[in-house]
């Protein structure tokens, strides 16, 4: 597998030149510490760790974890890399300073998580899942729970998981059967089985803190009856260390298509001692703190798959010789031309590239809301940021993960037959990437969340706010503006203007169709999500174009890097964005073509 090089220059371009994250850090507690120099230093050091420690054990880690009587052993090198990771303090970056963290904005951690995922997807999931547990306890935990768990989780000495899925139910949590019975000491006895628990059992940390949904005896039916509990693998001793073994055991680990290096566990809770987080029957609300963190992280996994696959495919395409270029010989001293000279190979490479860079920009844009949501200076700012992040999250998670699989698939295709065999590592990226469209809510679930809760129930407020930002941005470059940059950006500005207005129109049309037949929501939801994703990504590419033009005009920055941005942006607008029109047409199609066939005909 080709070496992975972290595109530090791209992260810095987004943080400093496109989205001006430093100005946004003024609204975040501790944001003043995140200077441009500090962010660059952090990204540079994180890149070294990813390239030197994680990337070399990515392909070997595909050999997978092993299970023996409830004990799970991670692949060779994983434990040593994790120890190096926590000794360097990487887990503490965004944690509360009161609990041993450095208190830096969440966006910095989100960017580093993407780097680590690109370097080694399965390994990166171990510390990544702990972040959701930290966020949940910070938001909903009692002072005693924070004291017992947060310091150890933030330090990385302990790790965390999220336990929702059961053998008979996944997304439909109302069917959950795991029970919680109150004990005399204020704790609860938890009984049930959870499946598909990523990082549910492993040998990297001395304790694993499970965040678990279960039902109390007096629970109302459905999701309104869910409560949230802390269930540690080892109970907390009086001195704060990992003490007596709790009643949670790993029954097995899943045999999966990909991410073999992560111990995806079946967990059996047999009178396991648990501790209630928040109020009874309010577990789903508390869990959504975890889910928002997890879903933005999953979205960045789509960009990670695209980046890793692109880097491998681009290197191979420059070196692999096959046939002659249609437009004339490009390598006269060789028997054939490099395949990168063939238009179709360039199509695949540029598709990968714009997905990786566009997806990264989308996540970075949304991470500004995660910063304020986690550490805003006022409750009003935190509440507003939560709503804005909530609108972005299903688009990010659904859209970027789908495109990440596409990009990984292109990587295999560029290699041809070599891409299909294991030694090159390209098929591993494709296998690993497939899970991202499934866990943390499938693409269909994200689409229903976007359409139902974030657009229709919200009465288009967040959609109008987001599309309003697009219109305001584009207005800088429309015909009445006479600056040189306005002329350069005018075509993209018109496109962004039309996209924003069409996005609103499609949402209103969908609402009217839903009144006639509620199934229209489900029939059009995924197409609406994908259209939303292309509109969102177009907005990011337009902003990157504007920043590149500014820097080139001022004689600043890396000329080759900036010109490559402009070429990539042109490719996106000319050859990728037209896909949005197909989604717009499909989501307006007749419902009968989808629902008229009798169920009995599906044989």
Burial label, 366 (beta-carbon count in 10 A; 0-12, 13-18, 19+): buried
Quote the tokens at residue 261: 């290096």
CA-nearest of 183, 200, 213, 179 to 248 is 200
How far lies 297's CA from each of 205, 328, 524, in Å? 21, 45, 26
Radius of gyration of the chain (CA): 24
- By three-state DSSP, how is residue 521 classified? helix
CB 410 within 8 A of CB 351: yes
Q: Are residues 298 and 128 in contact, defined by beta-carbon separation less than 8 angstroms?
A: no
Dist. CA 474–CA 362, nearest whole Å: 17
Q: Which two tokens stand for residue 231?
A: 């269930």
Torsion angles phi and psi, residue 332, rounded to 5:
-65, -25
Other beta carbons within 10 Å of 582: 13
Catalytic residue among 166, 381, 440, 592: 440
Which residues pair with residue 299 across a beta bridge?
Answer: none
CA pair distance 453, 459, nearest whole angstrom = 9
User: How far, CA to CA in Å, does 27 sit from each of 336, 368, 385, 396?
Assistant: 57, 10, 11, 23
First to last CA, the chain: 43
Report residue 414 CA to chain centroid gap.
25
Q: For residues 445 and 401, what is the distance between their CA atoms, to the nearest angstrom? A: 13
Please count the other Cβ atoms lying within 10 Å of the Cβ belonging to residue 332. Answer: 7
Tokens 């006639």 locate to 516
**β-sheet bridge partners, residue 179:** 191, 215
Q: Rounded CA gap, 495 and 511, in Å? A: 24
CA distance 95 to 324: 55
Q: How deeply is 168 buried, as exposed, middle or buried, from its count of CB atoms within 10 A (0-12, 13-18, 19+)?
A: exposed
Longest dimension (CA), the chain: 84
Helix %, strand %, coil % for the chain, to 5? Answer: 65, 10, 25
Helix (H, G, I), strand (E, B) or coil at 317: helix
Report residue 366 CA to chain centroid gap. Answer: 11
Contact 229, 215 (CB under 8 A): no
| Cβ–Cβ < 8 Å for 359, 400 | yes
**440 is a catalytic site residue:** yes
Residue 427 tokens read as: 């098929």
Rounded to 10 degrees, what is the CA torsion of 484, 486, 488, 494? -160
Helix (H, G, I), strand (E, B) or coil at 169: strand
Residues 207, 148: Cα–Cα separation, whole Å: 12
The residues that are catalytic are 440
């Amino acid at each position: 597998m080709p070496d992975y090089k972290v595109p530090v220059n791209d992260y810095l371009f987004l943080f400093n030149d496109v989205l001006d994250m430093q100005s946004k850090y003024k609204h975040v507690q501790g944001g003043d510490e995140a200077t441009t120099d500090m962010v660059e230093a952090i990204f540079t050091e994180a890149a070294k760790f990813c390239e030197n420690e994680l990337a070399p054990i990515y392909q070997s880690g595909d050999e997978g974890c092993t299970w023996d009587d409830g004990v799970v052993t991670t692949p060779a090198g994983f434990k040593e890399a994790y120890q190096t990771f926590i000794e360097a303090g990487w887990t503490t970056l965004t944690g509360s300073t009161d609990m041993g963290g450095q208190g830096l904005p969440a966006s910095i951690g989100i960017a580093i998580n993407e780097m680590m995922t690109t370097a080694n997807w399965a390994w990166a999931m171990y510390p990544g899942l702990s972040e959701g547990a930290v966020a949940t306890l910070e938001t909903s935990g009692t002072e005693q729970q924070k004291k017992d768990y947060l310091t150890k989780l933030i330090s990385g000495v302990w790790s965390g998981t999220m336990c929702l899925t059961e053998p008979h139910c996944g997304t439909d949590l109302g069917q959950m059967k795991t029970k919680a019975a109150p004990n005399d000491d204020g704790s609860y006895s938890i009984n049930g089985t959870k499946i598909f628990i990523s990082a549910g059992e492993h040998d990297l940390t001395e304790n694993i803190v499970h965040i678990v949904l279960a039902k109390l005896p007096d629970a109302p039916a459905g999701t309104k009856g869910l409560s949230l509990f802390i269930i540690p693998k080892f109970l907390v001793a009086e001195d704060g260390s990992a003490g007596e073994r709790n009643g949670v055991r790993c029954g097995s680990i899943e045999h999966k298509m990909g991410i073999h290096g992560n111990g995806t566990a079946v967990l059996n809770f047999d009178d396991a001692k648990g501790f209630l987080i928040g109020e009874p029957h309010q577990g789903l609300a508390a869990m959504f703190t975890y889910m928002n963190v997890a879903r933005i992280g999953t979205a960045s996994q789509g960009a990670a798959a695209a980046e890793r696959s692109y880097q491998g495919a681009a290197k191979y395409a420059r070196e692999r010789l096959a046939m002659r270029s249609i437009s004339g010989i490009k390598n006269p001293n060789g028997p054939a031309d490099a395949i990168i000279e063939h238009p179709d190979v360039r199509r695949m490479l540029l598709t990968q590239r714009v997905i990786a860079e566009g997806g990264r920009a989308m996540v970075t844009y949304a991470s500004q809301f995660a910063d304020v949501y986690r550490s805003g200076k006022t409750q009003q700012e935190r509440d507003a940021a939560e709503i804005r992040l909530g609108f972005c999250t299903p688009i990010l998670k659904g859209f970027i993960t789908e495109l990440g699989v596409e990009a990984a698939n292109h990587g295999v295709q560029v290699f041809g037959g070599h891409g299909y065999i294991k030694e090159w590592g390209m098929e591993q990226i494709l296998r690993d990437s497939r899970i991202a469209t499934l866990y943390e809510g499938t693409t269909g679930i994200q689409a229903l969340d976007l359409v139902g809760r974030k657009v229709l129930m919200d009465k288009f407020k967040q959609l109008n706010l987001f599309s309003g930002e697009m219109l305001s941005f584009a207005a800088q470059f429309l015909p009445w503006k006479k600056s040189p940059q306005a002329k350069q950006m005018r075509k993209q500005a018109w496109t962004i203007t039309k996209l924003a207005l069409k996005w609103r129109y499609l949402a209103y049309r969908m609402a009217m169709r839903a009144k006639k037949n509620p199934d229209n929501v489900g029939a059009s939801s995924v197409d609406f999500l994908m259209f939303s994703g292309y509109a969102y990504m177009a907005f990011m590419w337009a902003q990157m174009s504007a920043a590149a033009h500014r820097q080139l005009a001022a004689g600043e920055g890396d000329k080759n890097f900036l010109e490559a941005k402009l070429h990539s942006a042109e490719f996106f607008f000319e050859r990728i964005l037209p896909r949005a029109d197909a989604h717009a047409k499909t989501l307006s199609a007749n419902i009968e073509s989808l629902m008229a066939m009798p169920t009995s005909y599906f044989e």
